[in-house]
Amino acid sequence: MTKREEKWAAVRERVGDGRLSVVLPVFNLADTIVANLRATAALFAAHGVRAELVPVDDGSTDGTRAALAGAAAALAEFKPTVVLRPVLLERNGGKGAALRAGFDASTGAYVMLLDGDLDIHPKQTPYFFEAMARQGADVVIGSKRHPRSVVQYPWHRRIVSWVYFTLVRLFVGLPITDTQTGMKLFKRAVLGEALARMLVKTYAFDLELLAIAHQRGAKIAEAPVRIRFGSKFGALKVRTVRTMALDSLAVFYRLKILKYYAKAEAPRKLAVPPRVSIIIACPGDSWMLQECLRAIAAQTYRNFEVIVLPDEAGVVERSSAISTIPTGKVRPAEKRNIGIRAAKGEIVAFIDDDAYPDAHWLEYAVKYFGDETIGAVGGPGVTPPNDPYLAQIGGRVYDNPLVSGTYRYRYRAGGVRRDVDDYPSCNLFVRTSLLRKIGGYRTDFWPGEDTLLCKDIIDAGARIVYDPWVIVYHHRRALLGAHLRQLGRYAFHRGYFVKRYPSNSRHLAYFVPSAFVLYLFVWAILVILPQPNVISVEAYCLWMAAVSLPMLAYILLVALTSFSFNPVTWLATVAGVVATHVTYGVRFVGGLLAQRAPCEFIGKDHAS
């Protein structure tokens, strides 16, 4: 037996009667993916290694999906030694989402992550198992800097790689020489623990994955690789470099400053996948409702029902997957309560008819309900990429840190998981039993009914968890009119709730816009007042400069946080931020001083 055969024998012994899971993220590889899968299957079958290949199509736009759907026939001869378990994702969600979906579909005690283009050939597998056995490692990564590696790598990529590696060693402290090479071997438990705490989906995914594993005590070893990149890589895009730098800094911040990964809880495994009742309150049919229903139909989690609650019968077409319950012209809270009474699922998922969910929306939310202390789960409402220009500006305004402050996580994907005490119903999951226990939504307020629902959930002793991957895309109101009208209603009710239901409304952040409006009022009076004769011109100018200093600082901060290379977008966002602050501040005070909150019915409150 040759040395190489001995190494493959060691792999066979490690895998045993189980399987080596090979997860391959794939994007737009229609021309090569079947040949790559066949070469991988032939390799493992020739050496008698029981394996399962889990290619994950990450929303490809070419014929990759069709190629994977027909790949089973091309690999049939390698059964039962090698089996194929393709995963087809409807939308491109990034490498992190693809690998997580592949891991969930896999079964092996050892999981290998391998790029679908086979830049690193799986024939190097024995070196990874050898390093794992020799060093007692839980994770083995391929390293371009291993002394036995053979790498044909463009010079500009070498420079970028060296700079990135240096920063990773300096700030993150990983005891390795590479993070980005596309071949890694994990013990299943270690990978599962790390994936359960992942937040990054795209460029810094590998860094975060290894940082979590290392922080939680996993030993990481390196193996040599042979890589021939050739000329497949062009110039690095500025946006790519910027995104990777920001994601990497975020990993450092969560790891070293927040200590997030040490504290983050992994959701408990569900014994039985619960049924979810998706409730959509709406006045009637619309293109946005149809968009929402199409996205729901594409969910990766399949145990659900849909309940649509329009004003009138016959407005929304019924089907085997959709129950339509006409409610008459009532407020959204009353509609949702009708839906709660009709729900057959253990969990109710609320989504607005002018929002549509990410393909993994149900999958990522449901996993939390294995923990009985969690009563509700929410996620971000991201501005859709296809929104009209002025609606996109409205989204930029909400995403501005000077507008949303510590609540910015509601409007953007990313960030960290956290417990919250208030979350909007455009993206909220609640246990059905809890909803029925607290009596559902209160119907004496609109808007603001979701704030009171969350108050009742917290008062019942349950937790509300925010997860940045539980994403819906929520159409925005166009700047300025529709945006400010909606914002004004929310501000008025928040001010009213501060004095009547303070537990989840009396937060300092809600008062800041009103303080700003008060400052503007005082500043305007001081500017308008005539110059007193007893004060010199020099003294008066100094006084006005001192009074105006906060205004100048504010304008500078708004300009910086609203920056865009497009000057029109920049100026529109600045105007939107200022108008938002003034409107919210005035309307909040109105609610604070009001004896009662008007709850007039508004039949349609849509982005368009």
What pLDDT, in 10s, does the model give residues 139-187?
999 888 888 887 776 666 667 677 777 777 777 778 888 877 889 999 9
**How far is the C-alpha of 96 from the C-alpha of 208, rounded, in Å?**
10
| CA-based nearest residue to 206, from 175, 179, 242, 235 | 179
Mean pLDDT, rounded, for 336-353: 96
User: Residue 260 — pLDDT band, cuts 50, 70, 90?
Assistant: confident
Between the alpha carbon of residue 555 and those of residues 322, 517, 558, the distances in Å are 50, 14, 5
**How far is the C-alpha of 29 from the C-alpha of 427, rounded, in Å?**
34
Query: Token match 């399949």: residue?
Result: 302
pLDDT tens by residue, 238-254: 666 677 777 788 888 88
Model confidence at 104: pLDDT above 60: yes
User: Residue 534 — pLDDT band, cuts 50, 70, 90?
Assistant: low
Residue 18, Cβ neighbours under 10 Å: how many? 15
Model confidence at 608: pLDDT above 60: no
Q: Which of 151-155, 164-168, 192-196, 380-384 has the highest mean pLDDT?
A: 380-384
* Domain regions of the chain by residue span: 3-263, 276-480, 502-593
Q: Kindly state the percentage of the chain with pLDDT values over 70.
A: 91
Record: fold of 276-480: Spore Coat Polysaccharide Biosynthesis Protein SpsA; Chain A (3.90.550)
Q: Which phi and psi angles does 31 have, rounded to 5°? A: -75, -20
User: Residue 137 — pLDDT band, cuts 50, 70, 90?
Assistant: very high
Structural contact between residues 270 and 370, judged by C-beta atoms closer than 8 angstroms:
yes
The 3 state secondary structure assigned to 500-529 is HCHHHCCCHHHHHHHHHHHHHHHHHHHHHC
Model confidence at 387: pLDDT above 80: yes
DSSP-assigned letter for residue 368 = G
DSSP lists the bridge partners of residue 212 as none
Angular region, 321: left φ>0, alpha ψ -120 to 50, beta rest: alpha
Record: fold of 3-263: Spore Coat Polysaccharide Biosynthesis Protein SpsA; Chain A (3.90.550)
Peptide bond before residue 332 is cis, with ω within 30 degrees of 0? no
**How far is the C-alpha of 268 from the C-alpha of 544, rounded, in Å?**
60
Structural contact between residues 430 and 375, judged by C-beta atoms closer than 8 angstroms:
yes
**Six-digit token pair at 434?**
């809890």
The predicted structure's pLDDT at residue 501? 86
User: Residue 531 — pLDDT band, cuts 50, 70, 90?
Assistant: low
For 172-187, the DSSP string reads I--SSS-S--SEEEEE
Structural contact between residues 305 and 344, judged by C-beta atoms closer than 8 angstroms:
yes
User: Residue 23 — pLDDT band, cuts 50, 70, 90?
Assistant: very high
Model confidence at 316: pLDDT above 80: no
DSSP-assigned letter for residue 31 = T
In Å, how far from its chain's centre is CA 161?
A: 27
The amino acid that residue 580 corresponds to is T
DSSP lists the bridge partners of residue 139 as 186, 220
**How far is the C-alpha of 211 from the C-alpha of 175, rounded, in Å?**
10
The predicted structure's pLDDT at residue 600? 45
Query: Token match 């929002």: residue?
Result: 355
**How far is the C-alpha of 423 from the C-alpha of 349, rounded, in Å?**
13
User: Residue 606 — pLDDT band, cuts 50, 70, 90?
Assistant: very low
Output 465 or 524, whichever has higher pLDDT.
465
Model confidence at 535: pLDDT above 70: no
Output 427 or 155, whichever has higher pLDDT.
427
The predicted structure's pLDDT at residue 604? 47
Structural contact between residues 275 and 306, judged by C-beta atoms closer than 8 angstroms:
no
Model confidence at 233: pLDDT above 50: no
Mean pLDDT estimate for the chain: 87
Residue 119, Cβ neighbours under 10 Å: how many? 17
Angle value at C-alpha 290, between 286 and 295, nearest 5 degrees: 145
Q: Which helix (H) or strand (E) holds 207?
A: helix 205-215
Q: Which of 80-94, 117-131, 426-440 has the highest mean pLDDT?
A: 426-440
Q: Indicate if 276-480 has the same CATH topology as 3-263.
A: yes
**Six-digit token pair at 425?**
């119903």
The predicted structure's pLDDT at residue 182? 83
Q: Which residues are CB-neighbours of 481 under 8 A, at least 6 positions away?
A: none
Residue 311, Cβ neighbours under 10 Å: how many? 17
Model confidence at 465: pLDDT above 90: yes
